[in-house]
Amino acid sequence: MGLRNYNVDNLIPLLMLIPHVIKDDDLRVLESIDALMIMMLSILMNNQHVGGKDVDKGIISSVRSTSIYYIVNDIIMNNLSQTRKPDIVVGNNSYLVGYSRLDNTLYVYMCRLCTKSCLMALIPVNFQCQLANELNKAVINMVR
């Protein structure tokens, strides 16, 4: 799973939560650990109810921490994008995006700003979507 030096006992809550989060039409996400971790984090950022059930806050916190650890580790170790590392990573509860200056592209790890719910997609910077507007605002606020 690429979780070097990570306590494998912390994966038990993740495995317990998968049946409550992944629906029959989402089973393809199980083929990619990257997609699974991003999807888990995306769902858990705002929900305390998973699959119609109340899930222990400790389990949610543990799975959220594991997902964040995996995603950050993958970005730093350059596993999500084999050809390049992002120059900057920007995110909040609604999106996580890496910007590559060399080819002027965005790698959308996860975005929930519209109904498309983009996941692990490469898009050009000039792509017209709500994400581009949000990133412009975020960058302007960072340089102030």
- pLDDT, one tens digit per residue, over 55-95 is 777 888 888 888 877 777 776 665 544 555 777 888 887 88
Spans in the chain with pLDDT lower than 70: 1-4, 46-49, 51-53, 75-84, 140, 142-144
- The per-residue pLDDT for 68 is 79
Across 33-61, b (16+ Cβ under 10 Å) vs e yields: ebbbbbbbbbbbbeeeebeeeebeeebbe
Return the closest-CA partner of residue 112 out of 66, 48, 45.
45
- The per-residue pLDDT for 2 is 62
Chain center to CA of 123 = 16
- The per-residue pLDDT for 83 is 54
Per domain, the residue ranges of the chain are: 1-80, 81-144
Dist CA 139 CA 70 (whole Å)? 25
CB 118 within 8 A of CB 110: yes
